[in-house]
Chain A
């Protein structure tokens, strides 16, 4: 009896999850989350990231030694 109940619950939960995912799909909720929340957040993160200054990179060419061979 208990097992039957558990199975029913599991099937119910899976069905609800499936229906929920279908809603996410159909109403493009994944797109809206990514567009309005995730992308602006990531953009801010990358805009504020410290990056190497190309001016600090010397013009040495180690591969020129290879080309002389």
Chain B
């Protein structure tokens, strides 16, 4: 038996070790990169965050959310819902390969978080999981491929994920609206990005070119692979964000072969006459839904849900105020970005209100007690343009490694409005505007002066650095790279270009994204990493 090295034992500072055990190690001593098993992104062991935060993570995040992932299914679908859920897990790849990896999505986003930042960000994740399960159960209990309920099927409208769920508020007491691709495509890219590659490959194997937006490719690939539940009698599509998605709609239309209403969003949406036209199209959509699903327009129902959505918007403004003007904002970059886009696009649901209530308490405590939630912040970063879905947690890494705190991002700022409910006309006009301000369209491909809203938001949120996403297959945004370069130079702004291919990690791997940031931080900013073990590690095969 090997004798213990007494010299080494003597060198251990037991007092400090005990302190680290109780409170967790200081940021600079954490060595989070050492926890990874190479390639996989798995942990040799999960991070020890001190007794309080580790036990919070174990009890209130890990155990709680695993439990809720079962309870939510039963609550939303009943015992039969659970059976349908299991059938769906066996039938659809995006479900079978993704669902159980959810807690590792939490892990990636919440690495290194402590105290209120850990708690508030985790609540945002919890809301997204519940909203996802709502859709998944909704699809499976209606799915005719799985022998689902035909009556419910006939009272359901499907829509492109970029059609705002609020368009269907007047019918919420009579039908369910479920986005076609929000779970099979969007959410799975974040949770387990191995899955989406099948759909991209499927559509390219079918003969479609490989250079259009991979989001459009993947969404079309879902239908080529026949991997979408049959839960609806009719669907509403859109052209958003670009002509790539029009092509997706064509493929969907062919393979779905059901009544379809196309509700395009105009490219130049500032023109008032365009707004009127858009309002007419929403009314056309109302008629389509009424004819296809046999439902009636209920004004009171519309007002009820719009008022509830306005309440969510007002809290979002309160959050932005704290975020912009204090160091006490408890939500990290990835939780802010994903929660906001999910909530504002999917529309009013009870879980958003429940979680906002919890986050409000945490945030108010931080403000009252002046708790600096991200104490190692060296730079306040605004992230602009469309983010890499396979590496949405880059901002967690960037904070842990470099102290880059992503305080706000473009997608959070899109739906920056309340909707009037004082008259049908005002309401419809505001709904049209909200519909026009869709993800990516609002800023990224909505006109030059909108994409240049970056400058005013930089000032508003007190940012000193820009993380400029460069989606290599977005033809719209590729066209303005040079203009941004000129402006960054003229305004003397530190900006890092982050190339990516939206859902496809094979084009620009996550390690390359990190290397680009590392290079900028060392060569241009001349800074040292907070945690050098995070500079370079291999997570090429991780979820």
Chain A residues within 8 Å of B, Cβ to Cβ: 21-22, 25-28, 30-32, 34-35, 38-39, 42-43, 45-46, 51-52, 54, 57, 59-63, 66
Contact = CB atoms under 8 A, between A and B. Distances in A.
Contact of A60 (B100, B224, B257, B261): B257
A54 B96 contact: no
Contacts of B493: none
11 contacts: A21-B63, A35-B543, A38-B100, A39-B194, A42-B93, A42-B96, A57-B255, A59-B254, A61-B254, A62-B258, A66-B291
A62 B42 contact: no
* Interface band, chain B: 35 or more
A60 B159 CA distance: 20
B539 interface: no
B269 interface: no
Contact of B42 (A22, A26, A32, A42): A32
Interface of B: 40, 42-46, 58, 62-63, 90, 93, 96-97, 100-101, 103-104, 107, 192, 194, 198, 206, 223-227, 253-255, 257-261, 288, 291, 543
A66 B259 contact: yes
Contacts of A54: 206, 223-224, 226, 255
Contacts of A32: 42
Given A22-B58, A52-B226, A28 B42 contact: yes
Contact of B97 (A21, A43, A51): A43
A27 B43 CA distance: 7
Contact of A46 (B40, B96, B261): B96
Given A31-B42, A57-B254, A42 B97 contact: yes
A34 B43 contact: no
A27 B46 CA distance: 6
B33 to A, nearest CB: 15
Nearest to B62: A25
Contacts of A51: 225-227
Give the most central of B63, B97, B104: most A CB within 10 Å: B97
A32 B40 CA distance: 9
A23 to B, nearest CB: 10
B194 A62 contact: no
Contacts of B62: 25
B136 to A, nearest CB: 16
Contacts of B97: 39, 42-43, 46
B258 A31 contact: no
Contact of A25 (B44, B46, B227, B253): B46
Contact of A63 (B44, B192, B198, B258): B258
Given A42-B97, A43-B97, A28 B46 contact: yes
B45 A27 contact: yes
A52 B103 CA distance: 33
B495 to A, nearest CB: 35
A63 B253 contact: yes
B352 to A, nearest CB: 28
Nearest to B47: A26
Contacts of B291: 66
B225 A34 contact: no
A32 B46 CA distance: 12
B226 A30 contact: no
A21 B90 CA distance: 26
Nearest to A59: B254
